[in-house]
Chains A and B, each alone.
Chain A
Amino acid sequence: MKAPLTHVLDDMARKTAPLAVTAMLVLVALMHLPLPGFAELAPMLPVMAVFYWSLHRPELLPFWAVFLIGLAIDSLTGGTLGFNALMLLLVAAFMRPQRRYLIERGFPTHWLVFMIVVAAFEFLRWVVMSALVHDFLSLGVPALRVLLAIALYPCLSWFLLRVDQAFLKQG
């Protein structure tokens, strides 16, 4: 028997929710918002989303989707093409094997791993960018960015959990 249209739409929303929410965060990160600290935090929003979905729903945010998200960031920010795509792929690839051990642990462990991942991510980004411009870029802003991302991860994680419950848990 053919599935009713509402079921098809529901299934589609379920399958595309992680990609759609991550893409939305990419656009939010580009907004010209006069909020204190937003400019520093903005580049970390997609990283936070990729970390969350790679941990909780990796099947719904496959590598090709992570690659496309990264490529969109590179194009929209005018950075080196492929750079953010590579960095986000590294985050997703690192999280896949860890998932088995982490998924049964509580939020504090997830947060601790996020701290390590986000610090490594930003440091690697700093190393590659410094190499590309043949100069040591300042570490002050990347450090602030990491601290803000760590501080705000619980809030974003709570929001993504709501999305998860609204769209995905029914599936």
Chain B
Amino acid sequence: MALTLTAIALMALSEANSPFAGRMRTQVVDAFTPILAAISRPVESVSTWLGAMATASSLREENAKLRAEIEALRATRVHAAQIESENRSLRSLLGAPHSNQGRPIAARIIADSGRGFVRSFLIASGSAHGVRRGLAVVTAEGLIGRVTEVGERSARVLLLVDLNSRISVRVQRTRTRAILAGDNTSTPRLLYLPLDTQVRPGDRVVTSGHDGVLPPGVPVGIVAASEGGYLRVRPHVSWSRIEFVRVIDYDAKGLVPASPSSTRRLN
């Protein structure tokens, strides 16, 4: 009976966003981090091995596809370099600050609590590595979520599909701003779009940067077909394949210099 009452009291504290509940969670996670990190390594090796086995049969076909893709990307790279240089000189002419994409902190996923009714990952980097609450977490494919709890050696990443996730985004083609709201399905909803919106399935969605925490222009996903009266977004990220992530230490005021060489491989 006493334990039941304690559990109910803890639920009340937790729902009231008591700092005690948050501290308790981060301390337990910190205590378990070495164990989770240790057992996640063999799991990661097995996953990599299984992935290699699965792709071995299609290597020749994939090789040809990748060669074609490299050719196409070479042309795009030349074009992108021209645009970047033009953008830089125009910014200099106007006196506009250069865009700042933040300092990346690399981290390994040690646990996946993206089940049940909460969608989150635990990463083996915390305040000791420069991770702070609210920072964006990305992979090479795009945004996966933001940091919601930080311990000394670990942090929790709330995925953008979680029910509690709200992210300020922009539809790239129309420059329309919206809020991407998770609802525990694999395709979060686009909220607060203008009534006369021109947004349509297939449009790319990126972060808007208006919240001052997430860097602007981070790829999020593609607008999927309208469902239940809402336009939905299919995230670029394939959740089951992520092993490492980058936490972006972004400062909206541009105080943190952007430097790719400052990437830290932690853990």
- Contact residues of A: prevailing secondary structure: helix
- Cβ–Cβ contact A82 & B14, under 8 A: yes
Query: Is B195 among interface residues, defined by CB-CB distance under 8 A?
Result: no
Q: How many A-B residue pairs have CB under 8 A?
A: 126
A85 partner residues in chain B, CB cutoff 8 A: 3, 6-7, 10
A135 partner residues in chain B, CB cutoff 8 A: 163
Mark contacts of A14-40 with chain B using CB atoms, 8 A cut-off: 1 yes-contact digit, 0 otherwise.
000000000000010111111000011
Query: Is B73 among interface residues, defined by CB-CB distance under 8 A?
Result: no
Q: Taking the nearest CB of chain A, how far is it from the CB of B238, in angstroms?
A: 10
The CA-CA distance from A72 to B29 in the complex, in Å, is 9
- Cβ–Cβ contact A31 & B9, under 8 A: no
Query: Is A42 among interface residues, defined by CB-CB distance under 8 A?
Result: yes
A67 partner residues in chain B, CB cutoff 8 A: 3, 6-7
- Cβ–Cβ contact A27 & B149, under 8 A: no
Q: Taking the nearest CB of chain A, how far is it from the CB of B27, in angstroms?
A: 8
Q: Taking the nearest CB of chain A, how far is it from the CB of B164, in angstroms?
A: 8
Q: Taking the nearest CB of chain A, how far is it from the CB of B209, in angstroms?
A: 26
Query: Is B118 among interface residues, defined by CB-CB distance under 8 A?
Result: yes
Instruction: Select from chain A the residue with minimum beta-carbon distance to B149.
Output: A78
Query: Is A111 among interface residues, defined by CB-CB distance under 8 A?
Result: no
> Known contacts A32-B111, A39-B115: does B40 contact A78 (CB below 8 Å)?
no
Q: Taking the nearest CB of chain A, how far is it from the CB of B24, in angstroms?
A: 7
- Cβ–Cβ contact B11 & A82, under 8 A: yes
Query: Is B13 among interface residues, defined by CB-CB distance under 8 A?
Result: yes
The CA-CA distance from A80 to B111 in the complex, in Å, is 18
- Cβ–Cβ contact B113 & A82, under 8 A: no
Q: Taking the nearest CB of chain A, how far is it from the CB of B108, in angstroms?
A: 10
The CA-CA distance from A32 to B149 in the complex, in Å, is 19
The CA-CA distance from A72 to B24 in the complex, in Å, is 10
A133 partner residues in chain B, CB cutoff 8 A: 163
Q: Taking the nearest CB of chain B, how far is it from the CB of A92, in angstroms?
A: 10
Query: Is B52 among interface residues, defined by CB-CB distance under 8 A?
Result: no
- Contact residues of B: prevailing secondary structure: helix
Query: Is A151 among interface residues, defined by CB-CB distance under 8 A?
Result: no
Q: Taking the nearest CB of chain B, how far is it from the CB of A121, in angstroms?
A: 12
Interface residues of B in 186-208 (CB under 8 A from A): none
A78 partner residues in chain B, CB cutoff 8 A: 25, 113, 118, 120, 148-149, 156, 158
B28 partner residues in chain A, CB cutoff 8 A: 71-72, 75-76
Q: Taking the nearest CB of chain A, how far is it from the CB of B212, in angstroms?
A: 24
- Cβ–Cβ contact A137 & B43, under 8 A: no
- Cβ–Cβ contact A39 & B43, under 8 A: no
Mark contacts of B1-41 with chain A using CB atoms, 8 A cut-off: 1 yes-contact digit, 0 otherwise.
00110111111011100000100110011001001100110
The CA-CA distance from A129 to B21 in the complex, in Å, is 18
The CA-CA distance from A76 to B158 in the complex, in Å, is 13
B184 partner residues in chain A, CB cutoff 8 A: 137-138, 141
- Cβ–Cβ contact B43 & A75, under 8 A: no
Interface residues of A in 54-88 (CB under 8 A from B): 63-64, 67, 70-72, 74-83, 85-86
Those 10 A-B pairs whose CB atoms lie nearest each other, nearest first: A82-B10, A75-B28, A77-B113, A81-B14, A86-B7, A30-B111, A32-B112, A82-B11, A82-B7, A43-B116
Q: Could you list some 28 contacts between A and B, CB below 8 A? A: A27-B35, A27-B39, A29-B115, A31-B43, A32-B40, A32-B44, A32-B121, A32-B243, A34-B47, A39-B114, A39-B115, A67-B7, A71-B7, A74-B10, A75-B25, A76-B32, A76-B111, A76-B113, A77-B115, A78-B149, A79-B116, A80-B14, A80-B15, A82-B8, A89-B7, A132-B15, A135-B163, A138-B185
